[in-house]
């Protein structure tokens, strides 16, 4: 695979953190920097991602004090929109994370919360570098807003008692990070970004610290990972979501992190019933923000280079599995090559299937994607809850039928479906009622766990 040393691709940035810490708001704020300027900065909405060209980033970071000028080797930042564990666990290829750097959002008034801990665990497991947005600084009592100002300027402009409260909360945060095994330091005092996590105070409401955040993302990715970001012609493409779109049928949303995709390419995708081989009918992205009135929902591309978020329209994608990689034929698709690709594309899913004893007793788990299924299975294993069946996608009647076999085996507590981030079909619900199968649904793993353990305690008295 040809690597091009003097050409870097855009880093993939993910946002993680506890609910309500301001993940969505921070992203909105970053986006608005450009929309409000009314300039054609070229920030574009992509499938599952937002593409920030470096010009737009540079305009914001130019407000930072002199001496912090950005050298720019990367073309853009690709920030993944759907924030949360979901998108993060899906963003992987051959077992490693596709997320190059993460923003972990912490509410400065609340410190580290339960889902912050989950996020930290995930980042640790995947060895993903991250920076911390210490958000909602405007909630510090008596904070004077300095809209869209670098926080290194906004902070010294505050009254002494505000600065004191900030320092106290900063120290508490550092202690909390130390307790989970991370050295951390506010970014302007951080002399060693390899050993210390940088903390960036931000407000997603008034915008203090947003320029600082962008500056850090660019400078850190270039400093720490220029090797990883080297542009390669080898295709790296991850399937994020499977979606039915009116007029297009079943489509897949992918993040392309390496190589080039073209209309007419033969692709190989992991499917619930085996590998899917199909031809790219169309490569689609939303219209750039400035061209919203253009007719039709999507722009069609003859070919697209990494890194980008793309919707692919093709036949036969109904049973595609989200959270897996997409492969492409290189020599036009000889039968030998296709056979290799079929095996390769099914590998992760096959590994998961064999890890579960489907003849044993245990709960039935169902998740939206391979990544979330994996996360759920790992969690259940560490909690010593046995699993006897699994599936990906909405809960159907046949899932209930399989689950109900636990009743015949006199294991009523395991006649339970743990449904993670997936809908339950109406008929499945009715059948569950009839067969006395329990369904627990949640979009946070430990909520499922809490419901199930409470139910077990109840049954076992």
Answer with the entry of Mg ion, ligand GDP, none that 368 interacts with (C-beta below 5 to 8 A by kind): none
Site string for ligand GDP, 192-211 (x = CB under 6 A): -----------xxx------
**Residue 32 CB, nearest distance to Mg ion (Å)?**
16
Among 3, 5, 16, 24, binds Mg ion (CB under 5 A): 24
Rounded Cα distance, 254 and 285, in Å: 11
Q: Is beta strand 196-201 parallel, antiparallel or unpaired with respect to 130-135? A: parallel
Answer with the entry of ligand GDP, Mg ion, none that 369 interacts with (C-beta below 5 to 8 A by kind): none
User: End-to-end CA distance of the chain, in Å?
Assistant: 60
**Residue 128 CB, nearest distance to Mg ion (Å)?**
20
Query: Restricting to residues 136-165, which ones interact with ligand GDP according to CB under 6 A?
Result: 136, 138-139
Cβ proximity to Mg ion, 17 vs 323, nearer residue: 17
**Residue 99 CB, nearest distance to ligand GDP (Å)?**
17
Stretch that binds ligand GDP, among 19-27, 181-189, 295-303, 325-333 (CB under 6 A): 19-27
- Contact flag: residue 25 with ligand GDP (CB under 6 A): yes
The CA–CA distances, whole Å, from 452 to 30, 313, 419, 436, 445 equal: 40, 39, 11, 15, 11
**Residue 97 CB, nearest distance to ligand GDP (Å)?**
20
Calculate the CA dihedral of residues 419, 425, 430, 436 and round it to 10 degrees. -20
Of all residues in this chain, which one has the CB nearest to ligand GDP in the complex?
22
Answer with the entry of Mg ion, ligand GDP, none that 138 interacts with (C-beta below 5 to 8 A by kind): ligand GDP
Among 23, 31, 85, 92, binds ligand GDP (CB under 6 A): 23
- Contact flag: residue 22 with ligand GDP (CB under 6 A): yes
Structure tokens at 164: 């004191």
Residues that bind ligand GDP (CB under 6 A): 17, 19-25, 135-136, 138-139, 203-205
């Amino acid at each position: 695979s040809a690597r091009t040393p003097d050409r870097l691709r855009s880093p993939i940035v993910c946002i993680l953190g506890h609910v309500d810490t301001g993940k969505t708001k921070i992203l909105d704020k970053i986006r608005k920097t450009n929309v409000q300027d009314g300039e054609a900065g070229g920030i574009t909405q992509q499938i599952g991602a937002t593409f920030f060209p470096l010009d737009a980033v540079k305009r914001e970071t130019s407000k930072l004090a002199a001496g912090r000028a950005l050298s720019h080797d990367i073309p853009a930042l690709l920030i993944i929109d759907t924030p949360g564990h979901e998108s993060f666990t899906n963003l992987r290829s051959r077992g490693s994370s596709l997320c190059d750097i993460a923003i972990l959002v912490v509410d400065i008034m609340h410190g580290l919360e339960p889902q912050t801990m989950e996020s930290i665990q995930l980042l640790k497991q995947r060895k993903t570098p991250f920076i911390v947005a210490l958000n909602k600084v405007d909630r510090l009592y008596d904070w004077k807003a300095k809209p869209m100002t670098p926080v290194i300027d906004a902070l010294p402009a505050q009254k002494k008692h505000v600065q004191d409260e900030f320092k106290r909360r900063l120290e508490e945060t550092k202690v909390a990070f130390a307790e989970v095994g991370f050295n951390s330091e506010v970014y302007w005092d951080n002399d060693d970004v390899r050993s210390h996590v940088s903390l960036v105070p931000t407000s997603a409401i008034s915008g203090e610290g947003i320029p600082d955040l962008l500056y850090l993302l660019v400078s850190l990715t270039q400093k720490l990972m220029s090797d990883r970001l080297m542009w390669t012609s080898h295709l790296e493409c991850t399937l994020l979501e499977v979606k039915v779109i009116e007029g297009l049928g079943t489509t897949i949303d992918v993040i392309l992190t390496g190589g080039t995709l073209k209309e007419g390419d033969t692709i190989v995708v992991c499917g619930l019933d085996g590998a899917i081989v199909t031809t790219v009918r169309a490569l689609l992205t939303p219209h750039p923000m400035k061209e919203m009135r253009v007719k039709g929902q999507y722009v069609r591309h003859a070919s697209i280079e990494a890194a980008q978020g793309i919707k692919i329209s093709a036949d036969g994608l109904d049973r595609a599995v989200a959270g897996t990689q997409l492969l492409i034929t290189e020599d036009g698709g000889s039968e030998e090559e296709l056979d290799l690709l079929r095996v390769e594309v099914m590998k992760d899913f096959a590994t998961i299937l064999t890890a579960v004893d489907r003849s044993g007793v245990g709960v039935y788990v169902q998740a939206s994607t391979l990544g979330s299924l994996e996360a759920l299975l790992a969690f259940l294993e560490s909690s010593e809850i046995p699993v006897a069946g699994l599936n990906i996608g909405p809960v159907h009647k046949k899932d209930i039928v399989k689950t109900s076999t636990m009743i015949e085996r006199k294991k009523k507590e395991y006649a339970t479906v743990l449904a993670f981030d997936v809908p339950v079909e109406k008929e499945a619900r009715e059948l569950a009622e009839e067969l006395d199968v329990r369904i627990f649904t949640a979009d946070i793993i430990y909520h499922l766990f809490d419901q199930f353990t409470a139910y077990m305690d109840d049954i076992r008295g």
